[in-house]
Amino acid sequence: MNTYKKSPGVLGISYAPESGDKHTIDLFVDVDNSSAGKEVEKIITSSDAVKSLRHIQDGTIRQYIVPFDQPQPLRTLNTAGDTELAIFYLLPGASPQNLTDFESAFGTLKSAVESASGELYATSGWHQGKAVNPTIRVDVSAYVALVGWDSLATHQTFQTTDAFVL
């Protein structure tokens, strides 16, 4: 972690196991520009710390480079009681119109999130490049969203609202 923190352009860093899968660790590195992102990417793929963990990994490191629409998400998310990470994989061969339609539909959901009780922070954006859909193992476009909630209870309550279910 100290290697990341000392990298120029790193604004914040956070990590935590996923609540549904304690064997998956999510690492968030907030950088101020794309060159800092490239440097962090080099560290992720070649650092001694990562190499020392290979014997307990399944070999999969999924990295998403996302220019979020709200700046500095970790500043708020590090104080959130519950952070939601959502990755939306579009179907292979999605057209530019499909991407636009998805973004529009997601905007409606994001508006509902931002007006929900207990929401602290919401940001989203397209992953730069292609991502491998873990289910079908094919390169696809991916959209990433981060939402900070004041507690797990408020997050779960929102998931039962019409805005989320519909």
- pLDDT tens per residue across all 166 residues of the chain: 666 666 778 887 777 777 777 777 777 888 887 777 777 777 777 767 667 777 777 766 677 888 888 877 777 777 788 888 889 999 888 899 999 999 999 999 999 999 999 999 899 999 988 888 888 888 899 999 999 899 989 999 998 988 887 6
- The pLDDT, as a whole number, for residue 166 is 60
- The pLDDT, as a whole number, for residue 96 is 92
Instruction: Give the HSE-up count for residue 149: Cα atoms under 13 Å, Cβ half-sphere.
Output: 17
CATH code: domain 65-166 is: 3.30.70.100
Cα 40 to Cα 48, 93, 112, 118, 126: the distances in Å are 13, 29, 33, 32, 19
- The pLDDT, as a whole number, for residue 4 is 64
Helices (H), 8-151: 34-46, 48-53, 73-77, 96-114
Do the Cβ atoms of 31 and 64 come closer than 8 Å?
no
Strands 25-31 and 131-133: unpaired
- The pLDDT, as a whole number, for residue 107 is 92
- The pLDDT, as a whole number, for residue 27 is 77
User: Residue type for 48, please?
Assistant: D
Scan for tokens 């914040």, then name that residue. 12
Residue ranges per structural domain of the chain: 1-63, 65-166
- The pLDDT, as a whole number, for residue 19 is 77
Alpha-carbon distance 141 to 128, whole Å? 9
User: Residue type for 73, please?
Assistant: P
